[in-house]
Chain A
Amino acid sequence: MAVLSRGDDSPQTPPAHEGAARPPVPPRPRRHGGAPRASGLSFRAFQCWLTVYRRIWRSSIWSSVLGPLFYLGALGIGLGTLVDKRGTAGLGGVSYLAFVAPAILASGAMNTAMGEASYPVFGSVKWNKIYIAAQASPLRPGDISRGHLMFMTMRIAMNAALVTAYMWALGATTSPWVVLAWPAATLTGLAFAAPIAAWAVTVRTENNFAYMFRFGMMPLMLFSGTFFPLSQLPAWLRVLAYATPLWQGVSLCRMLSLGHLDVPVALVNVAYLSVLAAAGIWAGARTYRRRLYV
């Protein structure tokens, strides 16, 4: 595959000398992702996003670092004083801070995922045309999609790591299992990012994202067992809430953070989120091809 070496900046093979035996081809210098195989190409696309991020990371650092701290402080500690005063039997006997912190972790991962998978994906086709540039390189549609998803996963994991650290520092968690809440939140984020990115690339106007945030993100954030237990909802709404991906993520993060792990439930949560993520990755390769090439 001759085209594959095009994006590689390894030195050209020196021209063969007249009459002399060809010098042995030097091994390809293994930089970054190694040989540009299929997975390596996705990694190249990821590196492009890293290069961009190195220039713009300041644009989100303050809200990434301080945002979750504000939420934990206002809801967990501020509102928590009111809730705890009234009694926490409805929360399973834990403080409101311990109850709400894993939900802030999971819904924060969802928010990052939705932010990174909507306007940036759309903008890569319409505004700054990063995808159009990538299209002119040996990258295949699946590589462009997966490379961008790797970057989104990195951003989700970065923010989730911060929230997990805050939870530990504020005493919102008492279980060592909380270290697993970090990958759990990242998986939750990916379960949103992959399908949304696969859809966002097909969208024709950015108004669709305003609807997604208003009618998707807001109700999910408010009614997925995040700020109050689902047992308070009417039965029909509760069934709906159990079916949402955010509830799966909240449930998983909360069990790990509180240390009451119910293994069958956790397995269902992980399976649900993994299937959603895998379906999104699969669909992404197809919708990207349709939008960028055909």
Chain B
Amino acid sequence: MSSATLRMLPPAGRLKRLQRAGGDVSSLRLVERHARVYRHAWLVFASGIFEPLFYLLSVGLGLGVLVGKVPGPGGHPVPYREFVAPGLLAVSSMNGAMYDSTFNIFFRLKYAKLYDAILATPMSPAQVALGEIGWALLRGTIYAAAFMLVMLGMGLVHSPWAVLDVPVAVLIGFAFAALGMTGTTYMKSWQDFDYVLLASMPLFLFSATFYPLGVYPRPVQVIVECTPLYQGVVLLRDLTVGVVGPDLLWRAAYLAILGLVGLWVAGRRLARLLLV
């Protein structure tokens, strides 16, 4: 190497620090650890695919017949199955991310003492947070892809925009994983987990997942429009049906900002909890 090139490179110390701050590689170690653990419980992992499948079947066989057509995106009537499937995808992304980032992380934090062990290695708390969320996203991607295959098989997808469904589902997962993780760092005992259920259950039921927003009176509509799951449901539903507008961009930005803020807070909180 010529001396000119050498001079252009940042000093070795700073390079190392940059690498560490990038953190991608170290965070991947945590993802690898979880993948290895789940090899012993792969059926638990795989069974997560069945839950939305059961929901879809139940809607297809039962509720769809009872409800008929509902006003979908842009006011066009769509069959109930096509209306509800994207909502279920959003819900399963949220639930998967929330459970992974609350129950599992709490267990690792308080009982398995996993993070105490990890911090004896060169990994930093921020990298732990990033690795945990990376794992939640990987898991979410697999579930979302499986769900999309089922939707395709059932003939519920009509628009080419639906290829964006999987990344959007992962974005929903990212936002809720970061939120859930932040919440977990404030929890003191298993009893606090009732609040997780208390937050996720109304989101699941009332975020225009099972019926259009128009069912509510106007003040309730405004409240529902502010919730993150509603944004995710609208994103996925519009993409799947193929009614796409610029509003989808700020809906996605809302979820991304929520996730990034959550990630930042969770990293700081973990550092404080683990006394770094």
Binding site for B on A (CB under 8 A): 56, 58-63, 66-67, 70-71, 73-75, 78-79, 81-83, 86, 90-91, 96, 207, 210-211, 214-215, 218-219, 222-223, 227-228, 232-234
- Tell me if B54 and A70 are in contact (CB < 8 A): no
* Contact bitstring B66-104, A, C-beta under 8 A = 1, else 0: 111010000000001000000000000000000000000
Q: How far is the CA of A210 from the CA of B194 in the complex (A)?
A: 19
**Which residue of the partner chain, among A56, A63, A78, A91, contacts B211 with CB atoms under 8 Å?**
A78
A239 to chain B, nearest CB (A): 15
Q: Find chain B residues with CB under 8 A from A223 CB.
A: 58, 61-62
A59 to chain B, nearest CB (A): 3
Q: Find chain A residues with CB under 8 A from B197 CB.
A: 62-63, 67
Is B163 an interface residue when CB atoms closer than 8 A count as contact? no
Q: Find chain A residues with CB under 8 A from B206 CB.
A: 70, 73-74, 78
Q: How far is the CA of A223 from the CA of B55 in the complex (A)?
A: 10
* Chain B, range 9-58, C-beta contacts under 8 Å to A: 41, 43-44, 47-48, 50-51, 54-55, 57-58
| A210 to B, closest residue via Cβ | B44
**Which residue of the partner chain, among B62, B68, B211, contacts A228 with CB atoms under 8 Å?**
B62
**Which residue of the partner chain, among A60, A71, A74, A82, contacts B67 with CB atoms under 8 Å?**
A82
Q: How far is the CA of A214 from the CA of B43 in the complex (A)?
A: 11
Is B223 an interface residue when CB atoms closer than 8 A count as contact? no
- Tell me if A82 and B194 are in contact (CB < 8 A): no
**Which residue of the partner chain, among B44, B54, B205, contacts A74 with CB atoms under 8 Å?**
B205
Q: Find chain B residues with CB under 8 A from A81 CB.
A: 211, 215
- Tell me if B198 and A79 are in contact (CB < 8 A): no
A150 to chain B, nearest CB (A): 23
Q: Find chain A residues with CB under 8 A from B57 CB.
A: 222
Is B191 an interface residue when CB atoms closer than 8 A count as contact? yes
Q: How far is the CA of A219 from the CA of B57 in the complex (A)?
A: 10
**Which residue of the partner chain, among B41, B48, B191, B215, contacts A207 with CB atoms under 8 Å?**
B41
* Contact bitstring B170-200, A, C-beta under 8 A = 1, else 0: 0000000000000000000111111101100
Q: Find chain B residues with CB under 8 A from A232 CB.
A: 61-62, 65-66
Given contacts A63-B201, A227-B63, A232-B62, contact A82 B211 (CB under 8 A): yes
| B53 to A, closest residue via Cβ | A218
Q: Find chain A residues with CB under 8 A from B43 CB.
A: 207, 211
Q: How far is the CA of A81 from the CA of B213 in the complex (A)?
A: 12
| B190 to A, closest residue via Cβ | A59
A120 to chain B, nearest CB (A): 11
- Tell me if A207 and B66 are in contact (CB < 8 A): no
A97 to chain B, nearest CB (A): 13
A–B complex contacts, Cβ < 8 Å, 29 sampled: A61-B194, A62-B195, A63-B201, A66-B198, A67-B201, A70-B205, A70-B206, A74-B206, A78-B210, A78-B215, A78-B216, A79-B63, A79-B67, A82-B70, A82-B80, A83-B67, A86-B68, A90-B66, A207-B44, A211-B47, A215-B50, A218-B50, A219-B54, A222-B54, A222-B57, A222-B58, A223-B58, A227-B58, A228-B63
- Tell me if A79 and B210 are in contact (CB < 8 A): yes
Q: Find chain B residues with CB under 8 A from A74 CB.
A: 205-206, 210
Q: How far is the CA of A207 from the CA of B44 in the complex (A)?
A: 7
| A218 to B, closest residue via Cβ | B54
Q: How far is the CA of A207 from the CA of B40 in the complex (A)?
A: 10
Q: How far is the CA of A67 from the CA of B70 in the complex (A)?
A: 26
B195 to chain A, nearest CB (A): 7
Given contacts A56-B191, A214-B51, A232-B61, contact A96 B198 (CB under 8 A): no
Is B160 an interface residue when CB atoms closer than 8 A count as contact? no
Q: How far is the CA of A82 from the CA of B72 in the complex (A)?
A: 13
- Tell me if B191 and A58 are in contact (CB < 8 A): yes
| A234 to B, closest residue via Cβ | B61
- Tell me if A63 and B194 are in contact (CB < 8 A): yes
- Tell me if A228 and B65 are in contact (CB < 8 A): yes
Is B246 an interface residue when CB atoms closer than 8 A count as contact? no
Q: How far is the CA of A82 from the CA of B214 in the complex (A)?
A: 11
Known contacts A214-B50, A232-B62; 16 further A-B pairs (Cβ under 8 A): A59-B192, A60-B194, A63-B201, A79-B211, A86-B67, A96-B66, A207-B44, A210-B44, A214-B48, A218-B54, A219-B54, A222-B62, A227-B63, A228-B63, A233-B61, A234-B61
Given contacts A58-B191, A59-B193, contact A86 B201 (CB under 8 A): no
Q: Find chain B residues with CB under 8 A from A78 CB.
A: 205-206, 210-211, 215-216
Q: Find chain A residues with CB under 8 A from B55 CB.
A: 222
Is B155 an interface residue when CB atoms closer than 8 A count as contact? no
Q: Which 10 A-B pairs have the closest CB atoms?
A: A228-B62, A59-B191, A74-B205, A222-B58, A63-B197, A214-B47, A86-B68, A82-B67, A210-B44, A83-B66
